[in-house]
Structure 1
Amino acid sequence: MKYMMFVVTATERDAESDESDVDLWVDELDASGKRVIGEVLQPPSEARVVRVRDGKVYVTDGPFAETKEWICGFDILEVDDLDEAIEIASRHPMARNGQLELRPFMQWEETEQA
């Protein structure tokens, strides 16, 4: 199963802490093949929101979520089940400073052609 793991923090300082610990976590998971890809994201001030209304494109600065928390990075995990994804997330250094949201990829059923 594939899981998207969002790394969530309330402050930019927390997003930058424990970099060497994160490197160790990444190296271990990359070696095991459990981490497909992951990246650190720019802060919310660099975000753009795109909407189309009545055929017109609107682009606004930054996210408009009513929260102080923001996604500072992500990892895609390839694991056997949710329990394994939780165990891996619990070892991520940002679990101590922020939080990690695990979301499974949609499993699309293949339909047979008659």
Structure 2
Amino acid sequence: MESLEQVNCLVADGKKFAHPLHHLGKSEGDLPVIAIDSFRHMYLFPDFQQIHTPGKLRQFVLDLHSGKLHREFHHGPDPNQPQEIAGAPETQPPPSVFEKLKPASNRYTILEKTEL
């Protein structure tokens, strides 16, 4: 049996889960969305309307377990594979908020700038 049973489903309120939606580049107005949170990355199902296409959601979960979603998260779609949906929305994650956490010159510090 394939590892589909290793996925726990959660239906969440878009207002309570606004922060994770923000990390996906989505807002309450974009609902409904389907995403997999692997606790390392969040992967967005590219087109919610394809939920009605037999096998699409199953393939999304299988792509998680095969490592395809993780690979594409870091390196983009495989150029050797044809894109399934012409004009599909971008699945690239929004820019990292961690870049904004670097030290700033206008913050106070106990240490002298030369000590950093």
> Of Structure 1 and Structure 2, which has the larger fraction of its residues in helix?
2
Q: Normalized against structure 2, the TM-score is what?
A: 0.31
Structure of larger gyration radius: 2
> Of Structure 1 and Structure 2, which has the larger fraction of its residues in strand?
1
Q: Normalized against structure 1, the TM-score is what?
A: 0.32
